[in-house]
Amino acid sequence: MSTGRDLVAVDTNVLLRATLNEAGLEAQSTKARQIVASGRWDVLVADVTMVEFVHALEAHYGFDRPLIADLVLGVVRLDHVVAAGSIIAAALTHYVGKPKLSFDDCFIAEHARAHRAQPLWTFDRKLARQHDQAVLIDAAA
């Protein structure tokens, strides 16, 4: 939640550097942590940035879903981070509990729920079977 301090925004690579300790990227990590974790300003993390962050942690770094959830929650729970924290947390619950669903699908469904947009119409059979917010569109009808 915003505290009235100056607001800055970060992209996915800044979140990755602030969160991970990668060999050869120590200087970037230090700078990223100064931005994200210092509390000198409020840090905006856009929805798409968070979706990319989860995707990178899973696809590029090979982290498992519980670890990804811990890393993401560690970021959004910082007092000076401005993000869709409750939507992200709800999406992570589905993401961890239903391994066939992608985080982006979980986020879209929880975003719809948070805005009371029901149902979430989809052609994605997997999403419709595994998330109570989603309803499959019958294209044959």
Q: What is the pLDDT of residues 35-85, one digit of tens each?
A: 998 889 999 999 999 999 999 999 999 999 999 999 999 999 999 999 999
| Domain membership flag for residue 79 | yes
Q: Report the b/e string of 102-126 with b at 16+ CB within 10 A.
A: bbbbbbbbbbbbeeeeebbebebee
What token pair was written down for 71?
Answer: 């890393």
| Domain membership flag for residue 101 | no
Cβ 134 vs Cβ 122: under 8 Å: yes
Strands (E), the chain: 7-9, 42-44, 81-82, 120-122, 134-136
| Domain membership flag for residue 13 | yes
Is the per-residue pLDDT at 141 higher than 80?
no
Taking CA atoms, 54 is separated from 2, 25, 45, 59, in Å, by 23, 20, 13, 8
| Domain membership flag for residue 114 | no
| Domain membership flag for residue 22 | yes
Taking CA atoms, 57 is separated from 19, 77, 87, 111, in Å, by 10, 18, 19, 21
| Domain membership flag for residue 75 | yes
Q: How much is the pLDDT for 5?
A: 83
Those residues with Cβ within 8 angstroms of residue 22's Cβ, 6 or more apart along the chain or in another chain: 29
| Domain membership flag for residue 25 | yes
pTM of the model: 0.90
Region of poorest pLDDT, from 3-12, 43-52, 103-112, 115-124: 3-12
| Domain membership flag for residue 37 | yes
Total structural domains in the chain?
A: 1
Of all helices (H) and strands (E), which one includes residue 129?
A: helix 125-130
Q: Identify the domain containing residue 64 by its residue range.
A: 7-83
